[in-house]
Structure 1
Amino acid sequence: MGMRTAAEIFAERLATQTDVADVRNAEPGSFVLVDSRSKQAWDQGHLPGAVHMPTAEIAGRAHEIEGAVVTYCWGPGCNGATRAALEFAKLGYEVREMLGGVEYWIREGFALRTPTGDVTRIPDPLTAPATDACGC
């Protein structure tokens, strides 16, 4: 087998990864969003519509989910979403990892669900476009 081409590598990445803007703008019901962090982290704040399923519980609880899955964790400095995505993939699920995690969700100005209600922050100009469309 020869070396993989750049096109194959990038296509593979797009098939297994997504980003916060694509998750937020996705067709409702096109996947189940899974927060793989601890209960304490979940209680601190999570993405609206997400299901809480720590990585250690996936093998025993994945049957609760039907269809495609998108996993997330804290952010780019955490590989929890990668580990969670691997667990779903081993069980045969179509799964993607959301790049950026909770950190970039917040930095792009999207709502975070907390015990006292949804909160948002002003989008960070280093990570979010000044308009609704980044042009990517």
Structure 2
Amino acid sequence: MSAVLGAPAAAPLAAVAHFSARLMFETDVSDVYADLGAGDSRIVVVDSRSLESWRQGHIEGALHLPTAEIAARAPSIISRDVTVVTYCWGPGCNGATRAALEFAKLGYDVKEMLGGFEYWARESFPVVTPSGVERRPVDPLTAPVHAVACGC
């Protein structure tokens, strides 16, 4: 018996609905980098980690807004005319999911950035640290070494 086909694939229309829905809720580090680089003012990137984590390194242009502070602070600092993109540490952490939920409860359009800060740094996108803006070497397991994006 097939491990892959033990549960059959969804019918194509169901698959279209599922994958379309996922793209409404999620984005990735490459797309966020492209939009920030293009100066797209329709998104606001929010780092939901602790102050200690933020100081260790964060995405240039992101707002620091820990999840516990979103309900109290977001309405006064983030316009409702934008789509909020949340991130936390990485795929092993659901902090960005919790932050996205808090924004959704407040009525914001919101997406979670898959990969979080970990994949942002691993793909060699700029990171603000106490020493300034840095770029770590590309991790060849997460991004092409000699290209700007994976092309997917």
CA radius of gyration, larger in: 2
Of all paired residues, the percent bearing the same amino acid is 61
CA shift digits 1:23-67 (9 cap, x unpaired): 000142121100000000001110000000000000001111012
Moved more, 126-135 or 97-106: 126-135
Match for 2:127 among 79, 95, 112?
A: 112
Tell me the CA shift for residue 132 of structure 1: 1.9
Letter in 2 for 1:114: T
Q: Are positions 1:17 and 2:33 aligned together?
A: no
Q: Are positions 1:65 and 2:78 aligned together?
A: yes
3-state SS of paired residue (2:86) = strand
1:53-132 equivalent positions in 2, closer than 5 A: 53-63=65-75, 64-66=77-79, 67-129=82-144, 130-132=146-148
Which residue of structure 2 aligns with residue 5 of structure 1?
A: 14
- Which segments of 5 or more consecutive residues in structure 1 lack a partner in the other structure? none
TM-score when normalising by structure 2: 0.84
- Which segments of 5 or more consecutive residues in structure 2 lack a partner in the other structure? 1-10
Would the aligned equivalents of 2:30 and 2:149 in 1 still touch at CA under 8 Å? no
Q: Are positions 1:42 and 2:54 aligned together?
A: yes
Letter in 2 for 1:133: A
Q: Are positions 1:31 and 2:43 aligned together?
A: yes
TM-score when normalising by structure 1: 0.94
